[in-house]
Chains A and B, each alone.
Chain A
């Protein structure tokens, strides 16, 4: 029996989520409709969030046991719907040109899967029932798998997709275990019955661990990150933007829901473990990113780093929550969620930019770029804005969320536990090292890809991309600037979440003064990016006036100085591997680099050799995985070979032994 209970707002919501899929026969129309539906969803969610109105419906009480779909839009879901809509707005605008310029075959199929993917993302964050959550989670994973291997002709793409689907199912298995544990305790699959449920200590620990591993696999937390650098680069760029920007955040959404909404009275060391894993992810991510010269792989490693930063904020919020300090916990949660939103925006922007360069230069290798700032000015400008944001430099949005994370780490010293006193400043230094390395990495990316002169023919013949792509990227870049200068907007959006989860309104303590954001205790620290920008503007103006009055404003152009030689060759410039070589050498114990110099042409090997230098640093965690899997596969293959060796006599012997064993068991049971 189908019982459908809903209100009209929910109907509009579901209609908007599903609508773009219906247009797949005309892909252009699909993307346009997706853009508009995202825009409407964005505004609708923002209004609902700010007015503190939550809708919930429960539909499809079907006759199959446990199979209901229920959807609830509470503040956490609404914010994540906003995040998804913002990103899909930018990416769908971009896709209007991208899918046609890349000339993908099966465009209708692509459009259908793409819109279904976004719809499944929206349903994942709004599901309020474990079964429907799992169903939509699986749909999301499978659809993203199809999108990742969209260019299946390439062997590397298929391998990346395979690793991805394997790891994501591993995670799903752990999630199912966590759900089943909760079901055993509460007797129902609906999230409504799971709110603040009291579990005994050992069940709590297993739920915590399964959630951490299961959702950590999806989020790309260290050490479960091995699929991220293989799957994100091979996908089409708009899909990478969606995956890296939004899909891994759904895992964070569920972690927040579990650790703050479902579990209660968690011991402090859970938060400490999350904080530790977050710092390790951040450091590992950025260090591996430094050694890459494939632009999209580099961005994928940066996603690992930023997930680490989000987890650090989350861990510190959990620490405060365990010590019954809800005001400071809300501050930590604000840092984590703000960074989630920021990362979604600038990571999608960077992936879209890399897609634009890939489209025009036909290579993903940074070493073949160069001088693109003059040939693709808009792409370069938006990419630079995205890089400044991801390096957490003022006055853009990355800086605000990283400042909030630092302050929440500093405030941790109010908790009275020794280990926290010692380790949290250590984690803060690791965060500082991460931020500095991220800035170094993006100097490399911008310097080598966009500045200087072109290093290959592909780069020489590049030109600006189509106008919809530029608008898509420009929208996201504008959001970076707006959120950086006016962080109150995001704080106002996060306030209902902290009221729901912790009972405290974070905006009253954090954004109490005009244009300043502060820690809950105002005198501890406050920041105003608007003031900083005005200071910069005044300073630049003063310097300009000074130069106009006392100085010379003429400029002359001539060719680059090459120490006396004619320097027209672009290969005189620095390369990406050369840029990161000092760091690779200093941290050689981490990278285990293998360097090779070998001659490429056999003809002139001894007199005028043309040498090629290859440096390869591989992921240490991957080697551990490979080793474990190798041992496991070898031993299980050996065992299986032993047991099933193909001889029919042995199989008959097995049947005989089994029957005798059953007979003995039955007789024994009869005797007792």
Chain B
């Protein structure tokens, strides 16, 4: 019973913290640019506001527009059930491992791209085409990084990887893990749609990748798609922080250690959010046909990390 409660608690923490992280990134960018910027809790208010508006659909849309937002929202939420925040017991660890996680996220991208097509406008197709290309190019790097972890921890179960990373794997293979971290950073930027891959604040359709697919969404559909995007960003940051920065975990589970672990997790995620925001400020968005070079570079990094581990 206790493990079930812990798992449930981890699941809800990830869900609740996700809009906050995105809001924090936005606030950091505004502060550094010199403006006051929106409040850190703005994304929560955005979701509430959007849920209360009605949905406008195109005449050419079909039932895909009705079911796709639900699937796009539910997919990262299910993956959040896989990730350990401060304890190895997760809600869905019996039903999948890290390879399943990659493909479940691909299911979300698939339906998001279909949603883009369904509105019958040209921007939807534009967004879908670019998003599928970028996601395909990020996959090999991601799988290579995952393979490195899986081979190091001798398991593909996320909880086991988490446990062994927490143990001493990170210090046994520092070169390999550092390079894998850098490769994972590239993949995170691609999947979460941040500069230098995609600008989440752009208003120009020709520069959009993720935004173009949800251009025609409104009301509760947009709320669901935004929830999906927030939780996906948080998932990647959690993966990054919990596997690479194995600090703040304790073996015993008293109320104090749990609280302290949650606090450390919160600090780690905020730090990572601020780092990504500062990265967004200092770099320029890459030209679209340079994204493949960046992803290939990430793949080469992952390849070196695997090679230095094996040999």
Contact = CB atoms under 8 A, between A and B. Distances in A.
Direct interface between A and B, CB < 8 A: yes
Interface of A: 371, 373-374, 388, 391-394, 399, 402-403, 406-407, 410, 413, 418, 421-422, 425-426, 428-433, 435-437, 439-440, 442-444, 446-448, 450-453, 516, 523-532, 535-536, 539-540, 543-544, 547, 550-562, 567, 570, 572-574, 578-583, 585-586
A559 B58 contact: yes
A437 B220 CA distance: 31
A560 B64 contact: no
A607 to B, nearest CB: 26
B130 A551 contact: no
B78 A440 contact: no
B107 interface: yes
A68 to B, nearest CB: 48
Contacts of B97: 525-527
A536 B74 contact: yes
Nearest to A519: B156
Contacts of A558: 56-59
A425 B306 contact: yes
B93 to A, nearest CB: 9
A532 B96 contact: yes
Nearest to B303: A426
A525 B64 contact: no
B151 A560 contact: no
B129 A579 contact: yes
B169 interface: no
Contacts of A547: 51, 220
Interface string B54-78: 1111111111100000110111011
A20 to B, nearest CB: 39
A561 B96 CA distance: 41
Given A552-B219, A558-B59, A560-B59, A399 B51 contact: no
A436 B190 CA distance: 14
B57 A574 contact: no
Given A403-B99, A558-B56, A558-B58, A429 B156 contact: no
Contacts of B184: none
Among B81, B142, B219, residue most surrounded by chain A Cβ atoms (within 10 Å)? B219
Interface residues of B, number: 88
Given A394-B103, A560-B60, A531 B94 contact: yes
Contact of B307 (A407, A422, A572): A422
Contacts of A442: 110
A443 B143 CA distance: 21
Contact of A373 (B62, B81, B103): B62
Contacts of A535: 78, 81, 91-92, 95
Contact of B139 (A388, A435, A555, A562): A435
B83 interface: no
Given A447-B128, A452-B117, 17 more contacts: A407-B156, A429-B143, A430-B140, A435-B139, A444-B129, A447-B116, A451-B117, A525-B155, A531-B92, A531-B95, A532-B95, A535-B95, A540-B71, A550-B51, A552-B54, A556-B54, A583-B136
B286 to A, nearest CB: 13
B62 A451 contact: yes
B110 A391 contact: yes
B300 to A, nearest CB: 11
20 contacts: A391-B106, A391-B110, A403-B100, A428-B144, A429-B139, A429-B299, A433-B136, A433-B140, A435-B106, A435-B139, A436-B136, A443-B113, A443-B114, A444-B132, A452-B60, A531-B95, A560-B58, A578-B125, A582-B289, A586-B137
A560 B114 contact: no
A555 B119 CA distance: 14
Contacts of B132: 436, 439-440, 443-444
Interface of B: 48, 51-64, 70-71, 73-75, 77-78, 81, 91-92, 94-97, 99-100, 102-104, 106-107, 109-110, 113-114, 116-122, 124-126, 128-130, 132-133, 135-137, 139-144, 147-148, 150-151, 154-157, 160, 215-216, 219-220, 223-224, 288-289, 292, 299, 303, 306-307, 310-311
A543 B154 CA distance: 36
Contact of B223 (A450, A452, A551, A581): A551
A203 to B, nearest CB: 35
B302 to A, nearest CB: 8
Given A432-B140, A435-B139, A558-B56, A410 B120 contact: no
A572 B126 CA distance: 11
B88 to A, nearest CB: 13
Contacts of B306: 425
B157 A436 contact: no
Contacts of B121: 560-562, 567, 572-573
Contacts of A550: 48, 51-52
A269 B124 CA distance: 47
Contacts of A439: 106, 109-110, 132, 136
A525 B143 contact: no
A293 to B, nearest CB: 14
A585 B219 CA distance: 37
A569 to B, nearest CB: 11
A402 B132 CA distance: 20
Contact of A422 (B118, B125, B288, B311): B311
Contacts of A527: 95-97, 100
Nearest to A430: B140
A559 B154 CA distance: 54
B95 A582 contact: no
B103 A392 contact: yes
A407 B113 CA distance: 28
CB-based closest 8 A-B pairs? A574-B125, A531-B95, A447-B117, A551-B51, A436-B136, A525-B156, A440-B132, A432-B143
B155 to A, nearest CB: 5
A384 B211 CA distance: 24
Contacts of A388: 107, 110
A429 B137 CA distance: 11
A410 B154 CA distance: 10
A35 to B, nearest CB: 31
A453 B60 contact: yes
B120 A451 contact: yes
B124 A524 contact: no
Given A425-B144, A560-B120, A532 B52 contact: no
A553 B53 CA distance: 8
Given A394-B103, A543-B70, A421 B310 contact: yes
Contacts of A410: 147, 150-151, 156
Nearest to A374: B62
Given A527-B96, A532-B78, A543 B224 contact: yes
Contact of A429 (B64, B140, B216): B140
A539 B95 contact: no
B99 A407 contact: yes
A516 B95 contact: yes
Contacts of B141: 429
Contact of A525 (B57, B125, B135, B157): B157
Given A436-B136, A582-B130, A586-B289, A557 B57 contact: yes
A237 B92 CA distance: 42
Contacts of A552: 51-55, 219-220
Nearest to A513: B94
A447 B117 CA distance: 5
Contacts of A421: 310-311
